[in-house]
Structure 1
Amino acid sequence: MVGNGRRVALTEAVDPLVLALDVGSTASRGDVYDATGRPVEGGRRKVAHAFRGSSDGASEIDPDQVTDELAGLITQLAAAPLRGRIGGVALDTFASSLVGVGADGGAVTPCYTYADSRCAAQVRALRAELDEADVQQRTGCRLHGSYLPARLRWLRETAPDRFAAVRRWVSLGEYAYLRLLGTTAAGTATAAWTGLLDRRTGRWDPGMLAVAGIEADQLSQVRDPDDPLTAVDADVARRWPALAGARWFAPIADGFASNLGTGAADGTTAAVAAATSGAIRVLVPDIPERIPPGLWCYRVDARRSLLGGALNDVGRVVSWLQDTVALGDAELDRLMTADPDPATPMVLPYLSGKRSTGWAADARAVIAGVSPATSGELLFRGAMEGVALAFARIADQLQTTAASPQRIVASGRVTQELPSWLQILADVLDAPVDPVTVKRTTLRGTAVHALEVLAPDVTRAPVDTGPTLEPVSARLDHYRLRAQRYDDLYRAVIAADPPG
């Protein structure tokens, strides 16, 4: 079968089709996929947007703006020739979003994103009050600013009137569905990323709700992918006739979609995602009994969990470097593939706080080992080595679990725009890395999660990959020493409190 990097003509597409939507950090996107997971000709649309940030750690976006973006994408993609062929609509969004909804069903807060770090004081308070190791084992999440217990407490303490005006708390995807469909639900993966879900039962955790100061009836029903929404407003079919009879799948988090989209659909393959943020994830069966302190474990449905760790800053580091150190593509390729230089500065690449493995919500970037001879090129190299070393810390903890992936695939904007960096990643991980060449793997994975229900017996097209990046054995000792120096610097300057 032809790989899914090529578009298939509508006349050759295998039904049922899925209209997939993705809300990322930089844009909302949409596309149409056939039952094999191949994009259909005439699809793919994009509307750019950006988070609003400020020096106090704010990171927000207007939820109504995003809802309008999604409505426009649906209108463009749900064309008349597709009528009767679209079996489902699926949506993923960046994880750990939060919107407060008022009595009239409209937003009374902005959408707070995972990168909003203003609740650092509440994280510290929760760590003093709770047994964090117990919280992590119960919910799969650490106490951190990217999860909702601390964010909800921050809102309750700093904006009590706004907090009191909220009748319902939802993710960005749930809000968009509420406005577009007249009904909503939280996909299990979305619920798991809140830090409020009991990963063993799949229900909202009473203890964490009490900590956050909210009630279960202020949250949406949690639904696995095999329980899509059907009771949507009748106006939906009138507005988009091509979607009449389609099933709407509850919004999921982008991490789950990313794994499915890269083909990392079981425990044999680990997926490295390197976009605005980054992660290493392994989709494992059942519910793991214990989780290492530096990782998270999200229940995604009744039979699978996503185990791994995340970084706030990967593409952000690249963008900052490109704005700060102007280098051409040829210079970057030479720089990323060159032998390591001992004079390279050590960089802890935390521009907007830190998640795995130390969970220091208010961490900031550190550059050490700078001398008068340090060039812009060495600074760029040091920062990208720092990103790879941050990934390696997650990989080290994954090796202590029952997950035993035999393959690493890498995808995301950074792997597309700076592919030569993958050589550094392979050297630091001391493992081969297969670059996924298909663009928008998260969008594809969103379609695949719906196709698992709509077309379980259809074979998916293989995921296209480029040449494998093999680690250079002569660099192993160098990067082992760099990893030790990274750890020493981290312990010296970053306030981290692993549970247990």
Structure 2
Amino acid sequence: MSLVVGLDVGTQSVKLVAYDSVAHEVLATHSHALELVAQDDGSREQEARWWIDAIRACFAKLDPALRARVVALGVSGQQHGFVPVDAAGQVLAPAKLWCDTSTQAECDEIMDAVGGPLRAVALAGNPILAGYTASKLPWTRKHRPEVYRQLASIMLPHDYVNFWLTGERWMEYGDASGTGWLDVRTRQWSPELLAATDAQRDLAACLPPLVEADASFPISDVIADELGLPHGVRVSAGGGDNMMAAIGTGNVASGVLSMSLGTSGTLFAHADHPVVDDNGSWAAFCSSTGGWLPLICTMNCTVATENVARAFGFESRDGDTVLAGTTPGADGLVMLPFFNGERTPDLPHARASLHGMDTANLNRANLYRAAMEGATYALRHGYDALCAAGLHFDAIRLTGGGSHSAAWRQMVADVFELPVDVPTQAEGAAFGAALQALWALDHAAGGQADIAALATEHVHLDPALSTRPDPAATAAYRSHYGHFSRHLEAAVASHASGNVTNDG
């Protein structure tokens, strides 16, 4: 009975990892694809029942003999989503997701009500950005008034999955810090920001109780029977996908920088104190291990490469072959890959743009390289802000779908001028959820296991995938990154002046 399960409820799929903590072996990995409903106004939504159906499908694929050995499970969920739930526990409307940019006006309204973005940062450590949960409440009040009237519980995606698993409502500090309402310095809800979201309603009464990162709850007998799991399985507090990926990549101590190349691109690090930027240059989140997690999020990473691949009729898994023969800088092509708008920098209405085209360089290989470089440069832009704040890193731990690309791994090493290592377990968020479940299980039994020690024991790096910077490429990328930065500065200036189409 040594099996722990991690579930990652993502944007594109639900993933399940079954890990034998005694043998130090992943025994099974399963996934199930999800739909995404996208509208021209920037709305991005999913039905919460799709997550549950996908979880059922993943467990159905898991061998019954393995299911019978499960002792604990943890849930990682896409951050910032809003699942409106009534007093009977029924979902009232589709969940608005992290990549939903339709609520920018509501972001501005909330921040204006407290005195502007800098005041929001002073109150909670973060501005209210497009995609954050807070702005979804006034949007729902305006556009779905009957849903808002019946609203009894505000849940994040992983909160709702935990509620389905256990019948209990709770929220943990890491994911809660992505709502925009949690003061990350005090780990308490900001009354001012809640009131600014709705001055006529006590939104605090709709928020589940906050629990510590090592908390756990028993799975309900009904759901255990449905999934073929033993009664008494413990469900850990869980957390946001970036918080869980931090655990799954061993980023639970200072000095390590994790990078996730997924639908979104993220950079995050562990801190033992709140790391807040007065101007909100990064997300000052809490971790799901009791610490803090300064984080840079770009909303367009594999989105960029997949869009180019689709346009030219090939699969992104063949991208490395397509890139063969291209060189750093894509023969002068520069892409600002803002297909979904952008969060860092804050350009919610921006659109992707391509610069430097001529008759010689406009081909699918250079376009694919420009997309990959643009997504990487956007992350480098955020990294520069972390370094300017005094943070220092010796290496990058890479995870997410983009980490499977040898070309992308090398590009990251060259652009960031740091060694790149890849954990043996590619599903960092799901694996992190499994490790948090193992940690919480120990504490529920009266143990005192240390999460950093657990990560050291269970997170291993694959030496065959490790990459070091190439001096020649590094020098070339410095120059091309400068070109990207100038186009980015122009886009930011254009946005500030009211020309938000980013068409130049």
Q: Same fold, TM exceeding 0.5?
A: yes
Moved more, 461-470 or 245-254: 461-470
**2:219 aligned with 1:235, yes or no?**
no
Task: Give 3-state SS (helix, strand or coil) of 1:18's partner.
Answer: strand
Aligned partner of 1:79 in structure 2 is: 64
Deviations, residues 262-294 of structure 1 (Å, cap 9, x unaligned): 222222210110011110111112323656632
**Out of 145, 159, 173, which is 1:160 matched to?**
145
Aligned partner of 1:413 in structure 2 is: 401
Aligned partner of 2:213 in structure 1 is: 225
Distance in 2 (CA, whole Å) between partners of 1:80 and 1:468 is 35
Compared with structure 1, are the counterparts of its residues 489 and 124 closer, same or farther at alpha carbon in structure 2 (3 Å cutoff)?
A: farther
Distance in 1 (CA, whole Å) between partners of 2:22 and 2:265 is 27
Distance in 2 (CA, whole Å) between partners of 1:188 and 1:49 is 27
Aligned partner of 2:9 in structure 1 is: 23
Deviations, residues 390-423 of structure 1 (Å, cap 9, x unaligned): 011111111123432211121111121x321222
Compared with structure 1, are the counterparts of its residues 437 and 178 closer, same or farther at alpha carbon in structure 2 (3 Å cutoff)?
A: closer
Aligned partner of 1:6 in structure 2 is: none
Distance in 2 (CA, whole Å) between partners of 1:331 and 1:271 is 23
Distance in 2 (CA, whole Å) between partners of 1:424 and 1:46 is 28
Compared with structure 1, are the counterparts of its residues 273 and 291 closer, same or farther at alpha carbon in structure 2 (3 Å cutoff)?
A: farther
* Partner AA of 1:275 in structure 2: G
Compared with structure 1, are the counterparts of its residues 268 and 88 closer, same or farther at alpha carbon in structure 2 (3 Å cutoff)?
A: same
Compared with structure 1, are the counterparts of its residues 37 and 252 closer, same or farther at alpha carbon in structure 2 (3 Å cutoff)?
A: farther
Identify, as 1 or 2, the structure richer in helix: 2
CA offset at residue 23 of structure 1?
0.8
Structure 1 residues not aligned, in runs of 5+: 1-14
Aligned partner of 1:35 in structure 2 is: 21
Distance in 2 (CA, whole Å) between partners of 1:101 and 1:73 is 25
Query: Considering only aligned residues, what root-mean-square deviation do their CA atoms show, in Å?
Result: 2.6
Maintained 8 Å contact 1:137/1:290 = no
Aligned partner of 2:34 in structure 1 is: 49
Percent identical across equivalent pairs? 21
* Partner AA of 2:163 in structure 1: L
CA offset at residue 90 of structure 1?
0.8
Distance in 1 (CA, whole Å) between partners of 2:330 and 2:51 is 46
Task: Give 3-state SS (helix, strand or coil) of 2:271's partner.
Answer: strand
* Partner AA of 1:88 in structure 2: A
Aligned partner of 1:469 in structure 2 is: 467
Maintained 8 Å contact 1:98/1:170 = yes
Compared with structure 1, are the counterparts of its residues 88 and 138 closer, same or farther at alpha carbon in structure 2 (3 Å cutoff)?
A: farther
Distance in 2 (CA, whole Å) between partners of 1:403 and 1:49 is 37
Task: Give 3-state SS (helix, strand or coil) of 1:44's partner.
Answer: strand
**2:176 aligned with 1:191, yes or no?**
yes
**Out of 75, 92, 95, which is 1:91 matched to?**
75
**2:189 aligned with 1:204, yes or no?**
yes
Distance in 1 (CA, whole Å) between partners of 2:334 and 2:60 is 49
TM-score, normalised to structure 1, is 0.87
* Partner AA of 1:30 in structure 2: L
Aligned partner of 1:324 in structure 2 is: 311
Deviations, residues 147-193 of structure 1 (Å, cap 9, x unaligned): 02222222222332332222221112222332342222112222111
**Out of 32, 39, 43, which is 1:58 matched to?**
43
Aligned partner of 2:285 in structure 1 is: 298
Distance in 2 (CA, whole Å) between partners of 1:302 and 1:415 is 24
**Out of 89, 100, 103, which is 2:84 matched to?**
100
Task: Give 3-state SS (helix, strand or coil) of 2:194's partner.
Answer: helix
Distance in 1 (CA, whole Å) between partners of 2:358 and 2:228 is 65
Task: Give 3-state SS (helix, strand or coil) of 1:229's partner.
Answer: strand
Task: Give 3-state SS (helix, strand or coil) of 2:254's partner.
Answer: coil
Distance in 2 (CA, whole Å) between partners of 1:300 and 1:33 is 22
Maintained 8 Å contact 1:148/1:212 = no
Aligned partner of 2:490 in structure 1 is: 492
Aligned partner of 1:257 in structure 2 is: 244
Maintained 8 Å contact 1:283/1:307 = yes
Distance in 1 (CA, whole Å) between partners of 2:247 and 2:393 is 15
Maintained 8 Å contact 1:267/1:403 = no
CA offset at residue 345 of structure 1?
1.5
Distance in 2 (CA, whole Å) between partners of 1:327 and 1:237 is 42
Aligned partner of 2:502 in structure 1 is: none
TM-score, normalised to structure 2, is 0.87
Aligned partner of 2:500 in structure 1 is: none
CA offset at residue 37 of structure 1?
8.4
Maintained 8 Å contact 2:125/2:277 = no
Aligned partner of 2:104 in structure 1 is: 120
Compared with structure 1, are the counterparts of its residues 447 and 215 closer, same or farther at alpha carbon in structure 2 (3 Å cutoff)?
A: same
* Partner AA of 1:344 in structure 2: G
Maintained 8 Å contact 2:333/2:356 = yes
Deviations, residues 223-256 of structure 1 (Å, cap 9, x unaligned): 12222124x5443455456432222112310001
* Partner AA of 1:146 in structure 2: G
Distance in 1 (CA, whole Å) between partners of 2:475 and 2:5 is 48
Compared with structure 1, are the counterparts of its residues 49 and 389 closer, same or farther at alpha carbon in structure 2 (3 Å cutoff)?
A: same
Distance in 2 (CA, whole Å) between partners of 1:95 and 1:81 is 29
CA offset at residue 443 of structure 1?
1.0
Distance in 2 (CA, whole Å) between partners of 1:180 and 1:331 is 39
Aligned partner of 1:370 in structure 2 is: 357
Aligned partner of 1:352 in structure 2 is: 340
Distance in 2 (CA, whole Å) between partners of 1:32 and 1:372 is 51
Maintained 8 Å contact 1:284/1:403 = no
CA offset at residue 323 of structure 1?
1.0
Maintained 8 Å contact 1:282/1:403 = no
Moved more, 28-37 or 111-120: 28-37
Moved more, 173-182 or 276-285: 173-182
Distance in 2 (CA, whole Å) between partners of 1:107 and 1:206 is 26
* Partner AA of 1:53 in structure 2: A
Compared with structure 1, are the counterparts of its residues 436 and 258 closer, same or farther at alpha carbon in structure 2 (3 Å cutoff)?
A: same
Task: Give 3-state SS (helix, strand or coil) of 1:443's partner.
Answer: helix
Aligned partner of 1:282 in structure 2 is: 269
**2:130 aligned with 1:132, yes or no?**
no
**2:313 aligned with 1:311, yes or no?**
no
* Partner AA of 2:17 in structure 1: D
Distance in 2 (CA, whole Å) between partners of 1:429 and 1:60 is 34
Aligned partner of 1:394 in structure 2 is: 382
Compared with structure 1, are the counterparts of its residues 239 and 438 closer, same or farther at alpha carbon in structure 2 (3 Å cutoff)?
A: closer
CA offset at residue 111 of structure 1?
1.0
Aligned partner of 2:501 in structure 1 is: none
Task: Give 3-state SS (helix, strand or coil) of 2:303's partner.
Answer: helix
Work out the number of aligned pairs and report it. 478
Distance in 2 (CA, whole Å) between partners of 1:71 and 1:261 is 23
